[in-house]
Amino acid sequence: MDPLSDVLRSMRLTGGIFLDAELTAPWCLASSVTAEDCAPFGAVPHNIVSWHYVETGRLHLEVAGAPPVAVERGEIVLLPHNHKHLIGSDPGLPPADAEGLIQPMPGGLARIVHGGGGERTHVMCGFLGNDIPSDPILAIMPPVLKLAAPEGATAEWIESTFRFAAAILAGGGERSAAVLGKLAELLFEEAVHRYLANLPNGETGWLVGLRDPAIGRALALLHRGLDRHWTTEVLAAEIGMSRSAFAARFTDLVGEPPMRYLGKWRLTFAARRLMDTGEPVARIAFEAGYESEAAFNRAFKRNFGSPPATWRRATAGPETANG
């Protein structure tokens, strides 16, 4: 697996579909995912990525400060920061409040039927989320990611999966929400891969570093071995570079020195372990590469605002809160 996929799948995203919208032109909705939308699927995540899949028709999406996006049949558009946004049949239409049009339906899925009776658009709306404060992956994502409809077998698989889930939803089934949530997670990963591939030269950040053969290998080593006793010298030797050349190239591409980057990701890993498991804090500290629980506690509190055990009780489910 490539380093980017390793990192993306470590995000532990959850989610689902909460809204099925039948819209006819002219129409325009003001939208964002709320806590009430997420509640039927469990605890409301700290970070929310909203998404819309256009099953038939088309829509225009507008987010303040970003160029408008046209979304066609078979495409999915994701908003990594869940900004309030407008979706409509055409730009410039006065928006209706989506919340005021929602019709609750059995099984937790809501429905909207709205518009002026013209061209039909069918949209499925959902969310992804996790509970890592200042998630470093989401933090560097743009306001909007569009995944254009792929061709060939992949396109057929995506469309058939959405259609399958839609058919179950129409019959009152609930398992399609989980199917669509997982599909959206896979599509988010694909959208990030494509975003990275299209970044212009001169950009910085760890995503850009993944494109460089040497720095990409270094990032993969760090992410797969957080518990190793890394130094800049050791990491440079692993990839066959001098310390000075490696440190300069890593900092230039990623935007921060190797050991600062490593410290950030160790804490991100530890936070996920605190949420997902009931392992003792001391064991998680060791897995994250800290030589002592005390050092881990100090670093964690400095970054997250409270000690690990306190933070776990505030954010984790009841099965992990006592670890």
What is residue 293's predicted lDDT score, i.e. its pLDDT? 95
Residues of the chain with pLDDT under 70: 1-3, 6-7, 9-10, 105-109, 133-134, 149-155, 163, 165-181, 201-206, 316-323
What is residue 21's predicted lDDT score, i.e. its pLDDT? 94
Among 1.10.10.60, 3.10.105.10, 1.20.120.1460, 3.90.950.20, what is the CATH number of 207-315?
1.10.10.60
Q: What are residue 15's DSSP bridge partners?
A: 128
What is residue 285's predicted lDDT score, i.e. its pLDDT? 95
Q: What is the architecture, at CATH level 2, of domain 3-197?
A: Sandwich (2.60)
Give residue limits of the domains in the chain: 3-197, 207-315
Specify the long-range contacts of residues 94-100, CB closer than 8 Å, at least 24 apart: 94/28, 95/28, 95/29, 95/30, 96/27, 96/28, 96/29, 96/30, 97/29, 97/30, 98/29, 98/30, 98/31, 99/34
What is residue 169's predicted lDDT score, i.e. its pLDDT? 59
What is residue 318's predicted lDDT score, i.e. its pLDDT? 47
- For 168-189, the pLDDT digits (tens) are 655 555 555 566 667 777 778 8
Burial class (CB in 10 A: 0-12, 13-18, 19+), 180: buried
